[in-house]
Structures are given as structure tokens and as C-alpha cells.
């Protein structure tokens, strides 16, 4: 069967990668374009779980300025029981955004793409997409981790890849998909930003920061974990060749230029294509003793390290070692973040309530602190739908006071998130043998002043909040360095942000109530009901 050949015959997959749709990026000249610093304009395509944006960044040796030129919805679609991403709808939004970028900037110096991790599109020998990519929140991976661990025990999988356990990891999605007709016809699997890059350029590649989320990559060698792929019968050649942030990824195709009205040539640069990799590159830290929280639908909480930590203690604490820009390691824990709040708002609005985020945050600020707590990382909160009821049910189940008003529910969410952040920072420092003196929050959560203040109190550390658009900034700075507009280390790039981006500092208050609340939450996680 073709499926078996693709999974187990390296020669078959090698041949597949040479089909006519694949263009060798080494055939492209190095693209250091003669753009003067004052005219350099970079396009950042930033795809999030609920929306996509195209942002134009103007970069000079003195700083970075941003302008969002187009935003479009990202609406997952359930068809015949399977939850999909609308890949073509996203691509249409990207083309509209590039057209708007050309209007705003006159000419784009280059383009970079970042998105969420783990999900992929299957592509046939002609380069055609074999159906819309399946959403990581789909139920197809239920029970699959147990099947994977029967072949590669969880401890061995972590020792090889350093990636935290999650049912939606790419390795589990591939095993779930391998018996489908689409997989049988596939010749390449392209992670979401790589699929978009392929459509824009005709060049196939797999960017390493996103590849590290698959649970199939060795974070030390930065190559595929062959012991894992061999054991599971997954040929790494299923993925296009690996490339790193700053590498050339091709040029916008003539038809893309015609569709968007852009003047060519416009190079595409591989950036930290996992949005968290770009967001961490956009952390305006001054020195290395910092923890970061990339706060959005998910909260990614951790440290930036020089080498992976793959100890049993790290695995037990559920920390992941994902690749970052310039050979760094994003040592972090993935927490269900503002998804809880977003889903509550969506449910209340669906129920006909006239509710705005600012209103419920004001109500939460007035609510009793630390009254009701839940485990924000509980898998029970992963699926969409009915979130206010599910939070109330979780409190009822553990003996916590049941929040009955919108303000009480939102305060429960934010207090619980701040405690999750506190635990993640403490566990990261403990397992990596590091200390930190500041917590940086970047991403959409920066705009939630109550959450930032609670995080400072919970962690007992100063919080520096900003920038909101850290992923776009990291994306753009990698492009600018690749094109020779700016130079230097990752620290040098970050120094450009500190003087040009709005940052707000929150000092911690009394930590004692949070110490007691953390003990209470630990008891709840251990199954000990509240007294």
C-alpha cells in the first residue's frame, strides 16, 4: 500500500520529495536586497487560533514601528464530526493582507510567516492539499497517546524529544491519520506556516522552531529524532527539508504578485514560524535572568535556555523543550490560557447577554479575591462550549465555592491563571536550576491589566507587560537581520524594542494570600476537597 511505503520506505519518501511541486531553496540567490534602513518595510503574517493578521513593520537601526493593515477571522469548521481549519479562507485573508500591506508600504522588503504549532496539511505528489488540516482540538487523538507509548514509552519519548505530553502533538495526529485515504495519497506533511509559505513561493520546507513542536525532533541535534521515527514507522522525509529562522524560503510567485499588486521580487524569510518562538524573540528583556509568559489563547510560561533539560524531573513537571531563535531553547509549560475567558464571553454572548470584555474585567476586579479556584490546565477545559457551566462544575466537584456571577467566574479564571503562572515559573527555575528576577508578559494578555497585576502578586516578582505584538515584532526583527537592515545577537535585536515599545511595570504586593491559595490549589489537584 502507498501508506506503508510512505511510512516505512525511506526511498519512497525521498522520491516523493523530488516531485515537480518541490523547488530546491538552494537554487535561490542569497537575498540581501539594497533597501535603505529608512525605507525597509517588512510584512509579518501572524496566524492565531481565532484570527489572522498582516502587519507591516518599519525597521531602522534605531527601532521598530508596527502598523496592522489587515485582520481576518480564523473560524474552525466542523464537518462530518471532524473539526478542521479553513486553510483556504486563511490564505485568502493573507492575500488580502499582503495587498493592503503593499498599499500601506509601497513596497515590501520581505515577508515572514508564523502560526500555532502541531497541525499540518497533507499534500499530494502534485502539491495539492488533500483536505483542510484537522484542528488540534479535534477528538481524533483520543486514546492515541497510549498506542504511541506502547511502542515508545513516555519516558523514552521525552528523553529523545524533550516535548511535554499533549494528546494533540503532531506525533499523535500522524498516528491517528495514518489509516485514512488522504494519508495514503500524501507525499508531504506541511506544518501550517510551511504550508502557507509553500503556497506563496512554491518552495517546500520545514522550519525548525515549529518542527520542534511535533514531538519528533531532537532539540540538541536540531534534527529528527530518528530512534523515535524509526520505532513508530514515520519516515522524516514525509516532512520537507528542515530550515532555520533567517534562512531563505523563496520568493513570492508571479501569480501571488499579480493577485496582491506587490512589486517583486519579494523574498520570503523563514522566521521563528512557531508564534511562540517569534513572541519570545520579541521579549524586550535586558539580560538573561527572566521568565516569560506568552499570553493569549494559550499561555506559554518558561525560561530561555542554551540547552534542553530532559531530566525525569522536567518530564514529571510537564515541561517542553522547543527550539527558539538563534539556537535557544524555549523551556516552557503550555497552559490553557485566556481560552477560558474567551469561551465564557462567547457563551454569554450566544446566550443573548450584552457583555463586553471591559465590563466583565471590571466586575472581576470588584469580586472577592481567591474565593474560587480551578486547575487552569485541566484537560476538562480543552474543548469548546459551555465554559461558565464547566468552571462551576469543576468548583462543585472539588468543594470550592461555586461562582455564580460573571464577575466571580472571571475572577476565578484570572486568580487560577495567576497561580498556574506562579507554579510554572517556580517549577521551571527548580528543574532548570535557574533563578529569575523579572517576569515578562507579552501577547494579548498584556492588555488585561488585572491579570498582569495578579501575576506579579502571585509570583512575588516584578512583571513587565508588553509588547502586545511580540510575535509580529520577533518575526519582523528576524527578517530585518536576514536582509542586513539590523545586525547582532538576539539581545541586540531585543534592545531595539525597549526604546520603541510601550511597556508597563507591575510591582508585587502581599504574597501571603497567594502562598495559602497555592497550597489550597495543590490539595485540590491531589484530590483533597476544600475544608
DSSP 432-469: HT---SEEEEESGGGG-HHHHHHHHHHHTS-EEE--TT
Handedness of CA 442, 333, 457, 528 (dihedral sign): positive
Is there a contact between 291 and 301 (Cβ–Cβ < 8 Å)? Answer: yes
User: Is residue 129 a part of any domain in this protein?
Assistant: yes
Least confident interval from 222-226, 281-285, 335-339, 513-517? 335-339
- Residue 28's pLDDT band (cuts 50, 70, 90): very low
Q: Tell whether 403 and 363 lie within a shared domain.
A: yes
Buried-exposed string 483-521: b where 16+ CB fall within 10 A, e elsewhere: bebbeeebeebbebbeeebeeeebebeebeebeebbebb
Q: Tell whether 253 and 306 lie within a shared domain.
A: no
User: Is residue 315 a part of any domain in this protein?
Assistant: yes
Q: Tell whether 267 and 290 lie within a shared domain.
A: no
Q: Tell whether 72 and 127 lie within a shared domain.
A: yes
Strand pairing report for 242-243 and 206-207: parallel
> What CA–CA distance (Å, rounded) separates 509 from 462?
10
Q: Is the pLDDT of residue 144 over 80?
A: yes
Q: Is the pLDDT of residue 8 over 70?
A: no
User: Is residue 485 a part of any domain in this protein?
Assistant: no
User: Is residue 483 a part of any domain in this protein?
Assistant: no
Tell me which residue of 450, 434, 476, 465 sits closest to 285, measured CA to CA: 465
Tell me which residue of 444, 446, 370 sits closest to 413, measured CA to CA: 370
Is there a contact between 465 and 503 (Cβ–Cβ < 8 Å)? Answer: yes
User: Is residue 30 a part of any domain in this protein?
Assistant: yes
Q: Tell whether 257 and 294 lie within a shared domain.
A: no
pLDDT at 34: 43
Say which residues have a Cβ less than 8 Å from residue 210's Cβ, sequence separation at least 6: 115, 117, 191, 192, 193, 194, 273, 274, 277
Mean pLDDT across the chain: 91
Q: Tell whether 268 and 373 lie within a shared domain.
A: no
Q: Is the pLDDT of residue 200 over 80?
A: yes
> What CA–CA distance (Å, rounded) separates 364 from 482?
45
pLDDT at 38: 52
Q: Is the pLDDT of residue 27 over 70?
A: no
Residue with cell string 454572548: 349
Number of residues in the chain: 531
User: Is residue 104 a part of any domain in this protein?
Assistant: yes
pLDDT at 507: 98
> What CA–CA distance (Å, rounded) separates 218 from 158?
10
Q: Tell whether 164 and 309 lie within a shared domain.
A: no
pLDDT at 13: 33
> What CA–CA distance (Å, rounded) separates 497 from 415?
30
Continuous H helices in 9-153: 10-16, 87-105, 144-151
Q: Is the pLDDT of residue 525 over 90?
A: no
pTM over 0.85? The answer is yes
Higher pLDDT, 453 or 527: 453
Tell me which residue of 89, 95, 42 sits closest to 256, measured CA to CA: 95
- Residue 526's pLDDT band (cuts 50, 70, 90): confident
Give 67's DSSP letter: E
Instruction: Report the pLDDT averaged over residues 291-316.
Output: 96
Look at the chain and report how many structural domains it folds into: 2
Q: Which domain-ending residue is among 275, 309, 340?
A: 275
Q: Is the pLDDT of residue 37 over 80?
A: no
Q: Which domain-ending residue is among 275, 309, 324?
A: 275
> What CA–CA distance (Å, rounded) separates 440 from 460?
13
Active-site positions read: 275
* Per-residue pLDDT reduced to its tens digit, 477-514: 999 999 999 999 999 999 999 988 999 999 999 999 99
Q: List the Cα angle 88/93/97 in 5-degree steps.
A: 145
Range of the domain at 31: 2-275
Q: Which domain-ending residue is among 256, 275, 294?
A: 275
> What CA–CA distance (Å, rounded) separates 278 from 325?
8
Higher pLDDT, 31 or 314: 314
Q: How many CB atoms lie within 10 A of CB 330?
A: 29
Cα–Cα distances in Å, from 138 out to 78, 134, 383? 9, 7, 8
| Phi–psi pair at 429, nearest 5 degrees | -65, -40
Q: Tell whether 261 and 289 lie within a shared domain.
A: no
Strand pairing report for 438-442 and 223-224: unpaired
Name 46's bridge partners: 53, 114
Looking up residue 226, the CATH number of its domain turns out to be 3.30.420.40
DSSP 353-421: ----HHHHHHHHHHSPTTSS---TT-GGGSS-S-HHHHHHHHHHHHTPPPP-SHHHHHHHHHHHHHHHH
Q: Tell whether 119 and 256 lie within a shared domain.
A: yes
Listed as own residue / partner, the contacts of 378-387 with beta carbons closer than 8 Å and 24 or more positions apart are: 378/336, 379/167, 381/336, 381/339, 381/340, 382/137, 382/336, 383/137, 384/137, 384/343, 384/346, 385/343, 385/347, 386/347, 387/340, 387/343, 387/344, 387/346, 387/347
Q: Tell whether 293 and 263 lie within a shared domain.
A: no
CA dihedral 174, 178, 181, 185 (to 10 degrees): 80
* Per-residue pLDDT reduced to its tens digit, 89-102: 999 999 999 999 99
Tell me which residue of 207, 185, 79 sits closest to 123, measured CA to CA: 185
Category of 162 on φ-ψ map: left (φ > 0), alpha (ψ -120 to 50) or beta: left
pLDDT at 39: 64
Q: Tell whether 205 and 344 lie within a shared domain.
A: no
Q: Tell whether 89 and 9 lie within a shared domain.
A: yes
Say which residues have a Cβ less than 8 Å from residue 316's Cβ, sequence separation at least 6: none
Amino acid at each position: 500500500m502507498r501508506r506503508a511505503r510512505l511510512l516505512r520506505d525511506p526511498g519512497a519518501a525521498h522520491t516523493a520529495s523530488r516531485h515537480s511541486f518541490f523547488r530546491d531553496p538552494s537554487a535561490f540567490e542569497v537575498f540581501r536586497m539594497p533597501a535603505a534602513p529608512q525605507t525597509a518595510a517588512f510584512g509579518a503574517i501572524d496566524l492565531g487560533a481565532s484570527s489572522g493578521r498582516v502587519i507591516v513593520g518599519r525597521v531602522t537601526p534605531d527601532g521598530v514601528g508596527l502598523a496592522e493593515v489587515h485582520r481576518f477571522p480564523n473560524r474552525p469548521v466542523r464537518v462530518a464530526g471532524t473539526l478542521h481549519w479553513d486553510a483556504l479562507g486563511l490564505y485568502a485573508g493573507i492575500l488580502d493582507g499582503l495587498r493592503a500591506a503593499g498599499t500601506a508600504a509601497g513596497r515590501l522588503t520581505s515577508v515572514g510567516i508564523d502560526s500555532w504549532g502541531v497541525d499540518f496539511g497533507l499534500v499530494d505528489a502534485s502539491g495539492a492539499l488533500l483536505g483542510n488540516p484537522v484542528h488540534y482540538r479535534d477528538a481524533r487523538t483520543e486514546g492515541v497517546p497510549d498506542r504511541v507509548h506502547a511502542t515508545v514509552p513516555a519516558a523514552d519519548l521525552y528523553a529523545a524529544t524533550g516535548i511535554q505530553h499533549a494528546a494533540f502533538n503532531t506525533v499523535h495526529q500522524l498516528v491517528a491519520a495514518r489509516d485514512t485515504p488522504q494519508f495514503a495519497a500524501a507525499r508531504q506533511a506541511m506544518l501550517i506556516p510551511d504550508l502557507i509559505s509553500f503556497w506563496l513561493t512554491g518552495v517546500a520546507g520545514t522550519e525548525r522552531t515549529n518542527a520542534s513542536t511535533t514531538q519528533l525532533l531532537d532539540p540538541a541535534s536540531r534534527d529528527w529524532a530518528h530512534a523515535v521515527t524509526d520505532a513508530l514507522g514515520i519516515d522524516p522525509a514525509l516532512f520537507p527539508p528542515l530550515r532555520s529562522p533567517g534562512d531563505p524560503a523563496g520568493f513570492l510567485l508571479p501569480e501571488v504578485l499579480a493577485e496582491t499588486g506587490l512589486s517583486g521580487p519579494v523574498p520570503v524569510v523563514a522566521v521563528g514560524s512557531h508564534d511562540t518562538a517569534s513572541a519570545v524573540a520579541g521579549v524586550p528583556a535586558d539580560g538573561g535572568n527572566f521568565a516569560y509568559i506568552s499570553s493569549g489563547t494559550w499561555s506559554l510560561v518558561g525560561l530561555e535556555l542554551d540547552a534542553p533539560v530532559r531530566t525525569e524531573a522536567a518530564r514529571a513537571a510537564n515541561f517542553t523543550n522547543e527550539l527558539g531563535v538563534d539556537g535557544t531553547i524555549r523551556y516552557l509549560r503550555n497552559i490553557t490560557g485566556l481560552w477560558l475567558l474567551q469561551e465564557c464571553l462567547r457563551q454569554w454572548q450566544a446566550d443573548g447577554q450584552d457583555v463586553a470584555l471591559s465590563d466583565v474585567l471590571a466586575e472581576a476586579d470588584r469580586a472577592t479575591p481567591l474565593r474560587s479556584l480551578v486547575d487552569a490546565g485541566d484537560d476538562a477545559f480543552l474543548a469548546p462550549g459551555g465554559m461558565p457551566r464547566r468552571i462551576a462544575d469543576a468548583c462543585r466537584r472539588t468543594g470550592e465555592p461555586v461562582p455564580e456571577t460573571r464577575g466571580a467566574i472571571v475572577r476565578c479564571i484570572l486568580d487560577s491563571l495567576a497561580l498556574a503562572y506562579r507554579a510554572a515559573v517556580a517549577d521551571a527555575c527548580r528543574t532548570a536550576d535557574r533563578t529569575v528576577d523579572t517576569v515578562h508578559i507579552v501577547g494579548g494578555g498584556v492588555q488585561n491589566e488585572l491579570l498582569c497585576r495578579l501575576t506579579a502578586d502571585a509570583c512575588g516578582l516584578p512583571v513587565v507587560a508588553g509588547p502586545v505584538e511580540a510575535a509580529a515584532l520577533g518575526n519582523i526583527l528576524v527578517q530585518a537581520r536576514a536582509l542586513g537592515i539590523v545586525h547582532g545577537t538576539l539581545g541586540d535585536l531585543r534592545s531595539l524594542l525597549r526604546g520603541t515599545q510601550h511597556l508597563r511595570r507591575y510591582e508585587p504586593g502581599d504574597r501571603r494570600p497567594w502562598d495559602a491559595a497555592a497550597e489550597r490549589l495543590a490539595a485540590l489537584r491531589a484530590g483533597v476537597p476544600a475544608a
